[in-house]
């Protein structure tokens, strides 16, 4: 039990599909993050939310749309994705800015 | 821009032996944090150890210790008495400290550690 739960664990979708990734944290943290992990590349920060407000968008294409309805939940809505978007998407949370981040197990996304 | 470099894509160590993983980083900041994360095949990113740049003393966590050389911008991880469960991908990460505006981790490309029985 990591305290940060991501669903689904695996997702296969076509380029024209619309799907959503979900992240839930049970740690009482105030900040949540989406990262993209591609093979042979460093983890890339995508979005940061602090107290439900987006504070960072790391030049992410608009086909990725985050949503943070409350401090415990974070979604990543996907539409019209490209094959290069296939990757492991990791969610993380932290109590505050200077505290370490806790990661979920990730969603393995494959775009056909 | 800050960057993190891990020059060893793969390393191997015998069980019970000691191994050191290298990490260098580039920054013009004086206050920041450094981390080592471990990612086993289960995919969960697990925090191994954390170092505050203002602290001269090297962080230690059981069999894991770091050699933090601030002037050289080097942050290596030493694993003593290696165990089979230590086999994983290890990521070095840098976090700027800008007064709390963001908590932005910058990761290296990782080192895959194999532990031989």
pLDDT of residue B91: 97
Instruction: Out of B44, B97, B108, name the one closest to residue A105 (CB).
Output: B44
Residue B8 tokens, joined: 């060893």
Within 13 Å of residue A90, how many CA atoms lie on the same side as its CB? 23
Q: Which residues pair with B69 in a beta bridge?
A: B74
Q: Judged by CB atoms within 8 Å, which residues 12-71 of A form the interface with B?
A: 31, 33, 40-43, 45, 48, 50, 55-56
CA A23 to the chain's CA centroid: 7
Of B20, B26, B37, nearest to B4 (Cα)?
B26
Contact check, Cβ <8 Å, A55/B101: yes
Report phi then psi at B46, rounded to 5.
-115, 130
The C-alpha of B65 sits at a distance from chain A's nearest C-alpha, in angstroms, of 17
Q: Looking at chain A, how many residues does it have?
A: 112
The C-alpha of B107 sits at a distance from chain A's nearest C-alpha, in angstroms, of 6
What is the per-residue pLDDT across B59-107, written as a single tens digit (0 to 9) for each?
Answer: 999 999 999 999 999 999 999 999 999 999 999 999 987 655 556 889 9
Of B38, B1, B29, nearest to B115 (Cα)?
B38
- In this complex, is the C-beta atom of A105 within 8 Å of any C-beta atom belonging to chain B? yes
Within 8 A by CB and 6+ apart from A54, the residues are A47, A48, A66, A68
Higher pLDDT pick, B32 / B2: B32
pLDDT of residue B38: 96
- What is the rounded CA–CA span in Å between residue B57 and residue A18? 50
CA-CA-CA-CA torsion sign (B40, B43, B48, B51) = positive
Question: Residue A34 gets which letter from DSSP?
Answer: E
* Least confident among A53-57, B6-10, B12-16, B20-24: A53-57
pLDDT of residue A56: 83
pLDDT of residue B1: 74
Residue B20 pLDDT exceeds 70: yes
Give the rounded percent of residues in chain B with a pLDDT score beyond 90. 79
CA-CA-CA-CA torsion sign (A92, A52, A28, B105) = positive
pLDDT of residue B31: 87
Interface probe for B, chosen from A42, A90, A92 (most Cβ of B below 10 Å), is A42
pLDDT, mean over chain B = 92
Q: Find chain A residues with C-beta within 8 A of B91's C-beta.
A: 42-43
Within 13 Å of residue B81, how many CA atoms lie on the same side as its CB? 3
**A1 by DSSP, 3-state: which?**
coil
pLDDT of residue A65: 96
Higher pLDDT pick, B42 / B117: B117
pLDDT of residue B98: 67
pLDDT of residue A40: 79
Q: Is A73 in contact with A7 (CB distance < 8 Å)?
A: no
Mean pLDDT by 10 residues, chain A (112 residues): 88 92 95 92 90 87 95 95 95 83 94 91
pLDDT of residue B4: 96
Residues of chain B whose beta carbon is less than 8 angstroms from a beta carbon of chain A are 4, 33, 35, 37, 42-47, 50, 91, 97, 100-110
Token pair 């191997």: residue? B12
Q: Is B27 in contact with B106 (CB distance < 8 Å)?
A: no
């Amino acid at each position: 039990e990591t305290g940060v739960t991501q669903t689904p664990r695996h997702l296969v979708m076509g380029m024209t599909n619309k799907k959503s990734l979900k992240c839930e944290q049970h740690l009482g943290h105030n900040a949540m993050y989406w990262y993209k992990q591609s093979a042979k590349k460093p983890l890339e920060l995508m979005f940061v939310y602090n107290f439900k407000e987006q504070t960072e968008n790391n030049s992410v294409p608009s086909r990725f749309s985050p949503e943070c309805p409350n401090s415990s939940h974070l979604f990543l809505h996907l539409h019209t994705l490209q094959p290069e978007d296939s990757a492991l998407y990791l969610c993380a949370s932290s109590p505050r800015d200077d505290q370490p981040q806790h990661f979920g197990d990730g969603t393995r996304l494959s775009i056909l | 821009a800050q960057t993190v470099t891990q020059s060893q894509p793969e390393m191997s160590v015998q069980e019970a032996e000691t191994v050191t993983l290298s990490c260098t980083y580039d920054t013009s900041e004086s206050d920041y944090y450094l981390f080592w994360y471990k990612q086993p095949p289960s995919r969960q990113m697990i925090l191994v150890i954390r170092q505050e740049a203002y602290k001269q003393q090297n962080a230690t966590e059981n069999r894991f210790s770091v050699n933090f050389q601030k002037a050289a911008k080097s942050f290596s991880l030493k694993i003593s008495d290696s165990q089979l469960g230590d086999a994983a991908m290890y990521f070095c990460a840098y976090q700027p400290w800008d007064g709390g505006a963001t908590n932005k981790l910058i990761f290296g490309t990782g080192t895959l550690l194999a532990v031989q029985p």
